[in-house]
């Protein structure tokens, strides 16, 4: 973000407008596709919900008719044919409620990748077959109560997980639906209402008081406070005046404003966020995979332990019904109900809280890996600093041009760019009521500056790096002890002046740095800015080091160097100019408010350019991972105790299925409570 380049400028032609319209139609088509995808997802959620409630209702009489539950609770309920009623109700729950898991078993075995579905399906099938045999004459006690409670809890776990994934995108869909269908197009003195999808870049639109902003753009007239809470998580209305960017979907306050459209259709902020959420939905959590690996091993252990139990008791001369009961007890008890809830509950809570705090998680594994970060590399402008440059001083170095005239020429070139430095210079020129000149042959000098022709003469606005590379001496006047960013003006390749700008360090930066340092991280800054400015910011914040005047590819080298030193590196940048470094880092964090948010290579996007959010990200990632591991430990720890006792091999310590039920329930309750504690920790 530091680079003083100007890649965003484009001359807009009739072809551009046609292309924009085409992209809008593509967006509508994509939106229809997304709607279809979300409808399918919603139908699946509804299906799990329906299966859960029907199974839950049938579970009540099944529990009441189960002799084991009657013994446990000290009551008796018997009547002629009660066991056949129990069998009938349990059969409905097994085939109707258990169908997703039976189908999942087939899918996992077909992929040669047994996991959670296989473990659940094996447990409920063994429990159903054995219990049915008991009803029809086999000596023993049925496991219908265990069968139905397992199905109900697993349905609940999957329902919660699917709802949490759907929740974020559903909120975004609501935003899209709430977008106004019409916009007030300003054409000279006339105002014409047109459909939003007819808007083109560079169009000027009027937004009246309390109306929704129909497209991303820049305020060109008026001043108002906008409610962006549904988009950025910022609860307070944000003041917007001339030159400020606005996001489509935000709500205007009590004053009307005019906005120049900058992004429409698939380029808009909302559309990019929807795409990010869809990617997040497809992303697999590494810890979720850990739960599936645990389930796979538990499947092998359950089948192996069950078989060993059966063979051992028969070889010791015990009756078949006793050996079968022990085998079934082992196989059913070794499927922990809690394991099905361990990850979904934590994912649901962390997703909801993170979204409310302005964190868009594109890669869940990277989010969980935030706990491993040992080195953090910060971009400077807009992250550690406010990113709003103000001209602090400007000097002419030529007798034939006054300092105000110099500012006018430089601002004329800079008005072609959206870079914070450019905006600062243009703002200063307009405040001084200077007339801007016509620029021809405008061109960006990647990461070094810009050039163009004004009044037939060649002008360049460049960084100190350009002067060094072209062996042009930097004047003494340009130096100062202040944390300034300096650009130089060249006319016909001759240095004729400079402009110094300053950018304030954010109030939140110091606190964020302090929080991250407490976590044992090394903190660095990589900036395209000059050595003096970089050192001033680094010293003030107490960073471990800084890199100044670096180009995009050099940031990649910095990341690689830290990785070679054994660090797990996070990079924070704007997600576009810093794409290579974000891709190279172990965790790429894109920071940028509004339209800067759509980072193509970042793992995590922070909606607000606030260093406090980076600290929150690390804390949330650690807390989420810890809760997942704690829950997995509780869920599988139950097996470590219950399974050996269920075999009956330990003299005097044979667990009855009823006691197994108590252990199972306790484990599930602990996992649920522990997941809820995460919410309190993340919000506090």
Residues marked active site are found at 379
How big is the chain, counted in residues?
684
Residue among 556, 555, 591 at smallest CA distance from 574: 591
To 5 degrees, how large is the angle CA 649–CA 652–CA 658?
85
Residue 218 · residue 243 · CB < 8 Å: yes
List phi, psi (to 5°) of 9: -70, 135
Residue 569 · residue 586 · CB < 8 Å: yes
Residue 466 · residue 493 · CB < 8 Å: no
Residue 572 · residue 597 · CB < 8 Å: no
Q: Residue 77: how many CA atoms within 13 Å on its side-chain side?
A: 18
Distance CA 383, CA 431 (A): 26
Residue among 447, 621, 618, 622 at smallest CA distance from 523: 618
Give the end-to-end CA distance of the chain in Å, rounded to a whole number. Answer: 32
Distance CA 180, CA 537 (A): 43
DSSP state for residue 264 in the 8-state scheme:
-
Question: Which residue's structure tokens are 């949330």?
Answer: 620
Q: Which two tokens stand for residue 354?
A: 């993170």
DSSP state for residue 383 in the 8-state scheme:
I
Q: Name residue 238's beta-bridge partners.
A: 226
Residue 269 · residue 595 · CB < 8 Å: yes
DSSP state for residue 216 in the 8-state scheme:
E
As a three-state string, the secondary structure of 26-83 is: HHHHHHHHHHHHHHHHHHHHHHHHHHHHHHHHHHHHHHHHCHHHHHHHCCCCCCCCHH
Distance CA 153, CA 306 (A): 23
């Amino acid at each position: 973000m530091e680079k003083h380049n100007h890649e965003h400028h484009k001359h807009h032609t009739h072809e551009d407008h046609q292309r924009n319209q085409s992209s809008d139609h593509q967006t509508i088509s994509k939106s229809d596709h997304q709607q279809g995808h979300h409808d399918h997802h919603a139908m699946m959620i509804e299906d799990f919900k329906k299966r859960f409630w029907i199974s839950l209702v049938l579970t009540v009489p099944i529990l009441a008719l189960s002799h084991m539950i009657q013994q446990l609770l000290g009551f008796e309920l018997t009547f002629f044919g009660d066991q056949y009623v129990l069998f009938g109700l349990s059969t409905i729950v097994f085939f109707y409620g258990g169908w997703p898991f039976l189908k999942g078993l087939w899918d996992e075995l077909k992929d040669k990748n047994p996991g959670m579905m296989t473990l659940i399906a094996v447990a409920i099938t063994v429990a159903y077959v054995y219990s049915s045999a008991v009803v029809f004459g086999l000596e023993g006690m049925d496991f219908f109560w265990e069968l139905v409670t397992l199905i109900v809890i697993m349905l609940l776990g999957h329902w919660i997980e699917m709802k949490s994934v759907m929740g974020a995108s559903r909120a975004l869909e609501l935003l899209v639906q709430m977008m106004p269908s019409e916009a007030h197009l300003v054409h000279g003195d006339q105002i014409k209402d047109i459909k939003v999808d007819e808007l083109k870049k560079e169009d000027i639109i009027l937004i009246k008081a309390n109306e929704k902003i129909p497209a991303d753009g820049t305020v060109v007239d008026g001043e108002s406070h906008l409610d962006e809470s549904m988009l950025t998580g910022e609860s307070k209305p944000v003041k917007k005046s001339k030159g400020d960017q606005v996001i489509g979907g935000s709500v205007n306050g009590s004053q009307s404003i005019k906005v120049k459209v900058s992004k429409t259709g698939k380029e808009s902020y909302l559309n990019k966020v929807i795409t990010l959420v869809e990617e997040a939905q497809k992303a697999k959590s590494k810890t979720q995979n850990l739960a599936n690996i645990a389930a796979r091993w538990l499947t092998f252990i359950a089948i192996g332990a069950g078989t060993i139990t059966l063979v051992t008791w028969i070889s010791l001369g015990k009756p078949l019904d006793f050996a079968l009961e022990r085998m079934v007890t082992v196989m059913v008890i070794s499927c922990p109900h809690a394991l099905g809830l361990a990850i979904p509950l934590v994912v649901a809570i962390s997703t909801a809280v993170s979204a409310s705090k302005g964190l868009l998680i594109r890669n869940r594994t990277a989010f969980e890996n935030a706990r491993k970060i040992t080195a953090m590399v910060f971009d400077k402008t807009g992250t550690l600093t406010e990113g709003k440059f103000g001209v602090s001083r400007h000097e002419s170095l030529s007798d034939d041009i006054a300092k105000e005239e110099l500012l006018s020429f430089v601002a004329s070139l800079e008005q072609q760019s959206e870079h914070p430095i450019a905006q600062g210079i243009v703002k200063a020129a307009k405040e001084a009521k200077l007339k801007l000149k016509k620029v021809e042959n405008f061109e960006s000098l990647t990461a070094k500056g810009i050039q163009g022709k004004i009044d037939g003469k060649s002008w360049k606005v460049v960084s100190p790096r350009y002067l060094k590379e072209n062996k042009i001496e930097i004047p003494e006047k340009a130096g100062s002890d202040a944390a300034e960013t300096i650009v130089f003006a060249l006319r016909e390749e001759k240095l004729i002046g400079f402009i110094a700008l300053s950018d304030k360090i954010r109030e939140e930066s110091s606190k964020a740095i302090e929080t991250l340092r407490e976590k044992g991280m090394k903190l660095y800054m990589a900036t395209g800015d000059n050595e003096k400015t970089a050192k001033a910011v680094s010293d003030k914040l107490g960073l471990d080091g800084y890199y100044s005047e670096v180009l995009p590819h050099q940031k990649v080298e910095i990341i690689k160097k830290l990785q070679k030193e054994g660090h797990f590196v996070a990079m924070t940048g704007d997600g576009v100019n810093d794409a290579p470094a974000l891709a190279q880092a172990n965790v790429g964090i894109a920071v940028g408010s509004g339209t800067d948010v759509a980072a193509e290579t970042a793992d995590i996007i922070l909606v607000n350019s606030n260093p406090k959010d980076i600290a929150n990200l690390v804390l949330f990632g650690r807390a989420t991972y810890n809760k997942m591991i704690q829950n997995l430990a509780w869920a599988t720890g139950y097996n470590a105790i219950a399974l050996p006792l269920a075999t009956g091999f330990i003299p005097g310590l044979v667990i009855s299925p009823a006691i197994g039920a108590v252990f199972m329930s306790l484990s599930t309750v602990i996992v649920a409570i522990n997941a809820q504690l995460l919410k309190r920790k993340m919000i506090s």
